[in-house]
Structure 1
């Protein structure tokens, strides 16, 4: 993230209010026929002295299958930072519509363990606005530090796509090479996801995006049914990788196809060792066991 003077927010933004404002902003844009410029907000947003709620942490660990611990899971830190990131995307000068954006990929550096007792400074900003063959994509960068410290403890880059939005001055990239055909491995786990999965994750993450909550709210935004949160799926895969990952690691995930609820999701995990015989990397992939369509894939590697 390019260092800039941040906008200091007094309190953690309310995600429910941000979604309401995003809906109103989308209605205004449709009414006025306004199109954003190809310029991102220069300011970062920051909230200082953030602490985790112990009851919420416990509920998160239980839902995701994380071992009970005083250390905050990397996915929990993403959820903790998410309202700050959303507040940047909710600005009037953010050029893309917040509602309906598609989560393409996520890259996290967990540089050091963070305890639930730690007070944290959370900063978020946006960068790297660029074309996509079906719209425009942008990187949302969130950083977590121990309060008053300069060293990073956690850093996450989330890439989002505004499908069907083409901004002036941003060219469409040339078509890339076709992805190799996916051949499902033997699963190491099969998850049964109920229709309430989106609501359960929203309760622990605060992400009440309507596409995840119910059939009716998802259909209002053009989907045939509600879908599981991408970060719920990725964080559950990270939990299945387990404690072998240690306290510092890089966690990358790329999302392919949504998981429409209710559904079954098959997961395959394979691990690699380095020259000394120590764990070096785990690869994971998840797919629909009926159709064979891949939902997401990624790696967890030693940092």
Structure 2
């Protein structure tokens, strides 16, 4: 498999200097945030160009010492080995409520309900260990045109002693909205022809997979936990969390192969219906440069419906 590195994937965004900083006393609970997001979604309809709130939310001191049981439950569910190092998927879970708090603000113009999760780019710059006190901050940026509406990035960061340790950029789509500059969407690259490779793993996911990941992540969105909730959004039954699939693939690459500092990406295609069986292929990637026959540069992974060419996700894991 040949993969070309793109410069945009490794450049760390920074909150614009014009953004104000709002300090939160603690990491908010997702349950209350989702309730607020559901209540506020009804009034957020396409009315004109999207303008994002110019604010960074920050929780200055988040103690991880009390997260041992939570971390163990996460590691057990996702297949991460027992360790005091917090894997990138767990750091996403830790920071996700702060990013969600930005998304449920009254002046955040896009509805939480119905947002489509498109992709993630995550960079771990140094290990974060159980017991360290961290700073978490999050903001929204770069609302831009998509052929079906507006896509926006939610950026979440974890710092240790003032140094950036983790950064995750989650890209979401809000259908029917208009980008701030009114520009036409950039031309999308044509979908590559894809044939399922030889699988290296097969995941048999039970009907309760969404509830199990919801318990360790706090993400109890009903499309993942309730058939009735899933049907309300057009799915025949519950679907797996995208970050469950991505984090499980990251775990299968393993700490030794990804290293202490690494980049982890995922792009989502079709959702995984539960129960269901997903075939996964994890293999070496190569970085091809002019005059270079190709050098190993991490791993690429794909997930698809077992026995079909229905692709669910793809991504990369690359040591930095």
CA distances 1:22-63 after superposition (whole Å, capped 9, x unpaired): 11112344xxx6736421110110112213311110000000
What does residue 173 of structure 2 align with? 161
Q: 1:27 to 1:174 in 2, by over 3 A?
A: closer
Using structure 1 for the length normalisation, give the TM-score: 0.93
Tell whether 2:140 aligns with 1:123.
no
- Count of aligned positions: 297
**For residue 271 of structure 1, what is the aligned residue in structure 2?**
284
2: CA distance, partners of 1:94 / 1:81 = 18
* Structure 1 position 228 matched with structure 2 position 233: no
The 5 Å alignment of 1:135-174 reads 135-146=149-160, 149-166=161-178, 169-174=181-186
* Residue 214 of structure 1, CA deviation: 1.4
* Deviation (angstroms), 1:258: 0.6
Does the aligned pair in 1 maintain the 2:143–2:153 contact within 8 Å?
A: yes
| 1:21 alignment partner in structure 2 | 36
Question: What's the TM-score once normalised by structure 2's chain length?
Answer: 0.88
**Aligned counterpart in structure 2 of residue 72 of structure 1, from 59, 82, 86:** 86
Q: Which position in structure 2 is the counterpart of 1:299? A: 316
Separation in 1 of the partners of 2:252 and 2:240? 17
The residue number in structure 1 matching 2:216 is 204
Provide the rounded CA distance (Å) in 1 between the counterparts of 2:145 and 2:46. Answer: 19
Once the two structures are overlaid, the 10-residue window that deviates more, 288-297 or 183-192, is: 288-297
Please tell me whether the aligned partners of residues 36 and 95 of structure 1 are also in contact (alpha carbons under 8 angstroms).
no
For structure 1, the 5+ residue unaligned runs are none
**Ranges in structure 2 where 5+ consecutive residues have no aligned partner:** 1-13
The aligned counterpart of 2:148 is 134
For residue 282 of structure 1, what is the aligned residue in structure 2? Answer: 299
- How far 1:166 sits from its partner (Å)? 3.3
Point out the more displaced range, 293-302 or 214-223.
Answer: 214-223
Distance 2:286 2:110 in 1: 42
RMSD of equivalent CA atoms: 2.0
Using the TM superposition, give the Cα deviation of residue 168 of structure 1 relative to its aligned residue in structure 2, in angstroms: 6.5
**Distance in structure 2 (CA, Å) of the matches to 1:235 and 1:125:** 22
Q: Corresponding residue for 2:5?
A: none
Supply the distance in 2 between the matched residues of 1:130 and 1:273 (Cα, whole angstroms).
Answer: 31
Match of 2:55, SS state, is coil
Aligned partners of 1:128 and 1:285: how far apart in 2?
27
Q: Does 1:87 align with 2:101?
A: yes
- Residues 285, 10 of structure 1: alpha-carbon distance in 2 compared, 3 angstrom cutoff: same
Following the alignment from structure 1 to structure 2, what is the Cα–Cα distance between the partners of residues 143 and 130? 22
Query: Is the contact made by 1:120 and 1:145 (CA closer than 8 Å) also made in structure 2?
Result: yes
State the alpha-carbon separation in 1 of the partners of residues 286 and 127 from structure 2.
22
